[in-house]
Amino acid sequence: MTKTEKFIEVLQTFNDPVTIATWAKRIVELYPVVLNQINSNTNEKMTLREFVARISVKVSKGEFPNIEIENCEPYRKVKYCSESMKNERIQKNLNKDIELIVLDEHRQKDLSKLNESDRYRIEEFTSITDQLNRYFNLNFELHHVLSLTNRQKIGKHHADNLQLLTSEHALQKKDDEVRFTIDEQKAYIKRVIVVHTMVSKHLDINLTDEVLDMLLDRLAKVY
């Protein structure tokens, strides 16, 4: 087994990404002989600091196969990544990179099949979302209850499959959760705005109530 293979084998003993210093220390613990190398400049045995520096340079030059570098702050970290894991990551990244195009194609296909009434409902959903965000400085987005990328049951780009969520909550939603009723949707929007109003004192409460009531009335008609 070569030195490189031994070092990679040591990296596999960690379950999580580790700093290069932590990896180097584990190597020295398991193979203390690595520090017996003579430094050509000082004619003395290599120090741990020098060994860490060597490992760092080799990582930067890509001399270690099957490792993945995470550029964390304040120290970058490395972890073992087999070929199968690499291929899986490549496929996952590929799917994410083309997802927006796939979603747009799906939306356009579904829109082409809608009648004027259903098209209007989606346009109104979009308008209400934009105005909520503009008037209240929030980040609501149109969320497909049944995802357009669901492999088991693909959702439709249709008003009946839409609801409003904040960007943060949209990431937490699962496909097996049911759509809000209109009363639940209104209550959700109001709660989000109440919390936001507590933080953003500049909002005019009277204007907030007046605008919100009008927007929620519009939403109820197309929901």
* Same domain? 121 vs 192: yes
* Same domain? 124 vs 218: yes
* Same domain? 75 vs 119: no
* Same domain? 136 vs 216: yes
Q: Which domain holds residue 200?
A: 115-222
* Same domain? 218 vs 134: yes
pLDDT in tens, 15-42: 999 999 999 999 999 999 999 887 777 7
- Check: CB of residue 66 under 8 Å from CB of residue 11: no
Residue 109 placed within a domain: no
Burial classification of residue 194, based on how many CB atoms lie within 10 Å of its CB (0-12 exposed, 13-18 middle, 19 or more buried): exposed
* Same domain? 199 vs 134: yes
Burial classification of residue 5, based on how many CB atoms lie within 10 Å of its CB (0-12 exposed, 13-18 middle, 19 or more buried): exposed
Residue 194 placed within a domain: yes
**From CA 76, how far away is CA 53, in angstroms rounded?**
13
State whether residue 146 is helix, strand or coil.
coil
Of 34, 60, 81, the last residue of a domain is 81
CA distances for 196 relative to 57, 94, 114, 171, 182, angstroms: 48, 36, 36, 19, 21
**How many Cβ atoms are within 10 Å of 218's Cβ, its own excluded?**
15
Residue 47 placed within a domain: yes
**From CA 67, how far away is CA 64, in angstroms rounded?**
6
> What pLDDT score does 38 carry?
74
* Same domain? 72 vs 25: yes
pLDDT in tens, 178-195: 999 999 999 999 999 988
Residue 120 placed within a domain: yes
Residue 54 placed within a domain: yes
* Same domain? 65 vs 121: no
Q: What is the CATH number of the domain that holds 9?
A: 1.10.10
Task: Examine the pLDDT at 203 and tell me if it is beyond 60.
Answer: no
Per the structure, the count of domains in the chain is 2
* Same domain? 19 vs 69: yes
Q: Is 43 left (phi over 0), alpha (psi -120 to 50) or beta?
A: left
Strand 18-19, strand 67-70: pairing: unpaired
Residue 127 placed within a domain: yes
The better pLDDT of the pair 43, 165 is held by 165
* Same domain? 144 vs 62: no
